[in-house]
């Protein structure tokens, strides 16, 4: 099926969007995606860049939906949707990932199968084009759940993966972002702490500024419900600009960045990873459904309030076994969208657009 | 204070042990430790080895209790108790850690402060004598929660840590364990799958056999409650014998191997790490207290039943904010113990000894 371009390229008016989260009367299937949460504001985004984001989000939704529509598995839909975003330079995952302090892209990803509670995660890989695919390989073709660094790449080699050079992931925007982060860090080291990032220098385009602002964010993720009623979740990221010391955020931490359980929900998170680990975001949302019978939107809002109380920000997408959707965040915006049988399609970016 | 040696060296009769888990009438403080769960059976343990385990567990309890008794913080007590077990060759953490498939010890650890929900974790370090101390360093002296591999060691160097050679961790027992695991693996590769480990070969002492049996286990951990009412948890491990590909288990995964929250409980887990990640063991126990008002023993048993249903085994120690203790496991045994103001001291190993 083809998504009408109008839906892909512009935000739908709020009136066209299903706001109720009651149990649908017929079996539904579909997926929810995010492309990162952060300081995403309408007045700081060029029309062209915004259109690119909306088109790529729509493309990712279509790729995942096509799998589900033909009777495919939620896991396959998650992979298909995330791959579009990993392959796009717009998001901080795969191509276009942020640079670490050494000017290298280091990628993390995790996936979970809600039907079996199987999970796979990789952290700190540098030469795998589609990290979420490798996380799935760990889940399905190893006795392990989590592999890190060179070891994970050796596993990939043993499974016949082709490697890309680290340069494949590099983009000029992310390099400018790293340089700015280092400059700010140097000033902070010199005692001028809390110096805001200077975004006024000549020679920096508006679109570059957009990427420079987003130091911690831009993770991508997907949650899906297939026609058999199975849930799956996957998340992929380059982590945090200028990260040091093999820093790993919430993305490869099962229960923090990713969780799926047919009995409750599937969750993929994006935001300031340290706070999302400390609040066990993805599992905390599921636990509220399991132990307190909360609905998915109430649960997501409660967990994000915990994150905010700790001092963190970001967002989540969550999908329960009945197809109810939450796309919630406490940052200014979050790239997001969903596509379900029998529902209006939503592609959204800003804070005043739909969250469920 | 000095623990009477009698208590240290022998298991207490069940009648001397506090079995009730009601709220104590006076403010209590103390700590619970584990030294790993696994196939630990009375008829397969020499009297001498058993005495060594009991003495070292008692020493760890004393070290942590001394901190608490003098008004110190739960976090410091956790560090003190775990350090004794990391420094002992008996446990799979620090000295005496298991070998990976390359014959190298790779260590994981994590810590969490229940008062602030701050957390720190390291995975895959090779030259840090006391990994839990480095996890605390990450928590308190970096903006990050989790660091992996060489990056984590670079952070340690930046904080002035002295490194040990990997050989410091090596023990003959663990080397024999690796060789047996590789031998079994080779046979399985040759189609003779499910071949049990041959433990009958001449030249292997009974004590060596004990270590050979424990391929996946032996993690150490501690949960503590201080006089100010703060909870903390820490866990440290060498992971799984013959592990490949940078495999990481539940220990450095906050919410799986370690969790602490003053509002609920502190938990440290030990067992088949992959299953403990998938079941989000530590956070799942806390979530049941938070969202379903379950007591700590009911919550721990429920979560371990989930692990068993997935096919995994192991155990947990858990301690709530009132000082109620759970030491539960679905393996044959678990090295464990606790020491509290106003309670009998418990040091236990086998399945028929106290679990709370």
Closest residue on chain B to A149 (Cα) = B246
Residues 6+ away with beta carbon under 8 Å from A28: A225, A322, A323, A340, A341, A342, A343
- Please indicate, yes or no, if residue B242 is contained in any of the structural domains: yes
Closest residue on chain B to A156 (Cα) = B245
pLDDT tens profile B98-124: 999 999 999 999 999 999 999 999 999
Residues of A in contact with B244 (CB under 8 A): 151, 154-155
- Please indicate, yes or no, if residue A281 is contained in any of the structural domains: yes
Give the Cβ contact number of residue B28 at 10 Å: 17
Asked if A283 lies within 8 A of B310 by C-beta distance, the reply is no
Residues of A in contact with B279 (CB under 8 A): 117
- Please indicate, yes or no, if residue A235 is contained in any of the structural domains: yes
Residues of A in contact with B245 (CB under 8 A): 142, 144, 147, 151-152, 154-155, 158
Integer angstrom CA distances of residue A207 from A105, A204, A280, A309, B265: 21, 8, 33, 32, 47
B144 vs A152, A274, A283: nearest CB: A274
Q: Which residue has the tokens 């009998």?
A: B344
Predicted structure pTM score: 0.89
B291 vs A158, A273, A288: nearest CB: A288
Shortest Cα–Cα distance, B275 to chain A (Å): 9
- Please indicate, yes or no, if residue A201 is contained in any of the structural domains: no
Quick one: A298 exposed, middle or buried, by C-beta within 10 A (0-12, 13-18, 19+)? Answer: middle
Give the Cβ contact number of residue A355 at 10 Å: 21
Dihedral angle sign, alpha carbons of residues B287, B247, A89, A199? positive
pLDDT tens profile B5-29: 333 333 433 333 344 444 444 579 9
- Please indicate, yes or no, if residue B243 is contained in any of the structural domains: yes
Asked if B148 lies within 8 A of A148 by C-beta distance, the reply is yes
Closest residue on chain B to A101 (Cα) = B151
CATH number at residue A113: 3.60.20.30
Quick one: A87 exposed, middle or buried, by C-beta within 10 A (0-12, 13-18, 19+)? Answer: middle
- Please indicate, yes or no, if residue A34 is contained in any of the structural domains: yes
Interface probe, candidates A111, A151, A285, chain B, greatest B C-beta count within 10 A: A151
List the pLDDT tens digit at each of the 356 positions of chain A: 444 433 333 333 333 334 444 444 457 999 999 999 987 888 888 899 999 999 999 999 999 999 999 999 999 999 999 999 999 999 999 999 999 999 999 999 999 999 999 999 999 999 999 999 999 999 999 999 999 999 999 999 999 999 999 999 999 888 888 888 888 777 666 654 444 444 444 455 666 556 655 655 679 999 999 999 999 999 999 998 889 889 999 999 999 999 999 999 999 999 999 999 999 999 999 999 999 999 999 999 999 999 999 999 999 999 999 999 999 999 999 999 999 998 889 999 999 999 98
Residues of B in contact with A108 (CB under 8 A): none
Residues 6+ away with beta carbon under 8 Å from A101: A178, A182, A242, A243, A244
Q: Which domain holds residue B78?
A: 18-169+212-350
ipTM for the predicted complex comes to 0.89
- Please indicate, yes or no, if residue B226 is contained in any of the structural domains: yes
CA A344 to chain centre: 22
B288 vs A117, A273, A291: nearest CB: A291
Spatial distance between the Cα atoms of B106 and B252, rounded to a whole number of angstroms: 12
Shortest Cα–Cα distance, B165 to chain A (Å): 20
What domain count does chain A have?
A: 1
CA atoms within 13 A on the CB side of A148: 26
CA atoms within 13 A on the CB side of B132: 34
- Please indicate, yes or no, if residue B179 is contained in any of the structural domains: no
Shortest Cα–Cα distance, B149 to chain A (Å): 7
Q: Which residues of A are catalytic?
A: 219
Quick one: A240 exposed, middle or buried, by C-beta within 10 A (0-12, 13-18, 19+)? Answer: buried
């Amino acid at each position: 099926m083809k998504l009408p371009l109008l839906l892909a390229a512009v935000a739908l008016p709020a009136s066209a969007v299903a706001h109720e989260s009651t149990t649908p009367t017929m079996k539904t299937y579909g997926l929810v995606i995010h492309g990162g949460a952060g300081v995403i504001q309408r007045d700081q985004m060029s029309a062209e860049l915004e259109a690119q984001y909306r088109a790529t989000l729509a493309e990712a939704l279509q790729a995942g939906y096509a799998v589900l529509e033909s009777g495919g598995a939620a896991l396959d839909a998650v992979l298909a949707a995330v791959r579009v975003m990993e392959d796009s330079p717009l998001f901080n995952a795969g191509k276009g990932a942020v640079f670490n302090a050494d000017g290298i892209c280091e990628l993390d990803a995790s996936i979970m199968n809600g039907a079996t509670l199987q999970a796979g995660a990789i952290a700190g890989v540098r030469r795998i084009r589609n990290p979420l695919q490798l996380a799935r390989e760990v889940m399905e073709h190893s006795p392990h759940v989590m592999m890190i660094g060179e070891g994970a790449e050796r596993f990939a080699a043993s499974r016949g993966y082709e490697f890309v050079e680290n340069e494949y992931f590099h983009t000029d925007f992310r390099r400018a972002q790293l340089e700015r982060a280092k400059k700010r860090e140097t000033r902070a080291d010199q005692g001028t702490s809390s110096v805001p990032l200077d975004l006024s220098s000549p020679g920096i385009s508006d679109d570059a500024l957009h990427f420079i602002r987003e130091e911690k964010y831009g993770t991508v993720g997907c949650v899906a419900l297939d026609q058999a009623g199975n849930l799956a979740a996957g998340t992929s990221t380059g982590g945090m600009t200028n990260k040091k010391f093999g820093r790993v955020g919430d993305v490869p931490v099962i229960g923090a960045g990713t969780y799926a359980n047919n009995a409750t929900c599937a969750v993929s998170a994006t935001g300031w990873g340290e706070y999302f680990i400390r609040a066990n975001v993805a599992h905390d949302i599921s636990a509220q459904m399991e132990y307190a019978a909360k609905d998915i939107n109430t649960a997501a809002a409660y967990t994000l309030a915990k994150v905010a109380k700790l001092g963190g920000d970001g967002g989540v997408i969550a999908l329960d076994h009945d197809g109810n959707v939450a796309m919630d965040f406490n940052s200014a915006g979050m790239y997001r969208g969903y596509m379900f049988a029998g529902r209006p399609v939503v592609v959204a970016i800003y804070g005043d657009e739909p969250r469920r």
